[in-house]
């Protein structure tokens, strides 16, 4: 006997129309220079006793902060962002809101979280969407809280599959 509660419907989400569940922006580590900054700051955090470590972090951080701020600005103005809906995962451009890639939730079989070099300092990771054959459909680089994003995608996928199955049963009765 299972004590797990059945999935609850999401307020404002309809089976007949696409609704936005969440919007996620990548972190500074999606840029190679941002990953380098993360690696340098991570290396500085492993230096000697606490007073020396703090001094190293302040010195390295003060040198790299302007570059990190510039990368952050560039990503927020010219980079991509990701939209999770009740039907798909979409990659869009910030400027113009153009759709660049889209993966239907029903096509996703597995969601992996991959931690790259320089990601630990930024507390981010890549989220890879895989099909049933293990092919990568889309990689969402350097997302903050990647495990949470993967969970949201998997929950939305499960809800989409169940809704589609229910609609098929209802249509077959009609």
Residue range 54-73, pLDDT digits in tens: 999 999 999 999 999 999 99
Q: pTM for the whole thing?
A: 0.84
Residue range 80-128, pLDDT digits in tens: 999 999 999 999 999 999 999 999 999 999 999 999 888 999 999 999 9
Structural domain includes residue 15: no
Residue 10, pLDDT above cutoff 60: no
Structural domain includes residue 161: yes
Structural domain includes residue 69: yes
Structural domain includes residue 66: yes
Q: Which residues contact 152 (CB under 8 A, 6 or more apart)?
A: 21, 22, 84
* Alpha-carbon gap, residue 154 to 148, rounded angstroms: 10
Provide the pLDDT for residue 168. Answer: 86
Q: Give 32's pLDDT tier (boundaries 50, 70, 90).
A: very high
Domain span at 73: 22-173
Provide the pLDDT for residue 69. Answer: 96
- Provide mean pLDDT across the span 3-20: 64
Domain count, the chain: 1
Question: Does residue 127 contact residue 112 with C-beta atoms inside 8 Å?
Answer: yes
Structural domain includes residue 4: no
Structural domain includes residue 16: no
Structural domain includes residue 10: no
Provide the pLDDT for residue 169. Answer: 85
Residue 2, pLDDT above cutoff 60: no
Per-residue HEC secondary structure of the chain comes to CCCCCCCCCCCCCCCCCCCEEEEECCCHHHCHHHHHHHHHHHHHCCCCCHHHHHHHHHHHHHHHHHHHHHHHHHHHHHCEEEEEECCEEEEEECCCCCEEEEEEHHHCCEEEEECCCCHHHHCEEEEEEECCCCCEEEEEEEEECHHHHHHHHHHHHHHHHHHHHHHHHHHHHC
Question: Does residue 141 contact residue 26 with C-beta atoms inside 8 Å?
Answer: yes
Q: Which residues contact 128 (CB under 8 A, 6 or more apart)?
A: 111, 112, 113, 114, 136, 138, 139, 140
Q: Give 45's pLDDT tier (boundaries 50, 70, 90).
A: confident
Q: Give 4's pLDDT tier (boundaries 50, 70, 90).
A: low
Q: List C-alpha distances in Å: 148 to 56, 79, 88.
A: 32, 21, 17
Q: Give 6's pLDDT tier (boundaries 50, 70, 90).
A: low
Question: Does residue 150 contact residue 124 with C-beta atoms inside 8 Å?
Answer: no
Q: Give 148's pLDDT tier (boundaries 50, 70, 90).
A: very high
Query: Dihedral sign, CA of 60, 61, 62, 64?
Result: positive
* CATH classification of the domain holding 156: 2.30.29.30
Structural domain includes residue 17: no
């Amino acid at each position: 006997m299972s004590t797990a509660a059945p999935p609850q419907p999401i307020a404002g989400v309809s089976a007949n129309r696409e609704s936005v569940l969440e919007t996620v922006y990548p972190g500074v580590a999606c840029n190679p220079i941002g990953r380098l900054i993360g690696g340098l700051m991570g290396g500085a955090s492993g230096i000697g006793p606490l007073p020396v470590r703090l001094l190293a972090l302040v010195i390295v951080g003060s040198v790299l902060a302007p570059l990190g701020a510039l990368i952050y600005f560039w990503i927020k103005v010219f980079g991509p962002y990701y939209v999770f809906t009740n039907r798909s995962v979409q990659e869009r451009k910030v400027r113009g809101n153009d759709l660049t890639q889209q993966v239907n939730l029903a096509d996703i079989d597995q969601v992996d979280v991959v931690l790259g070099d320089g990601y630990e300092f930024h507390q981010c990771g890549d989220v890879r969407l895989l099909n049933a054959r293990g092919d990568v459909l889309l990689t969402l680089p350097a997302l903050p809280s990647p495990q949470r994003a993967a969970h949201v995608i998997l929950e939305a996928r499960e809800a989409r599959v169940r809704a589609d199955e229910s609609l098929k049963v209802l249509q077959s009765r009609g």
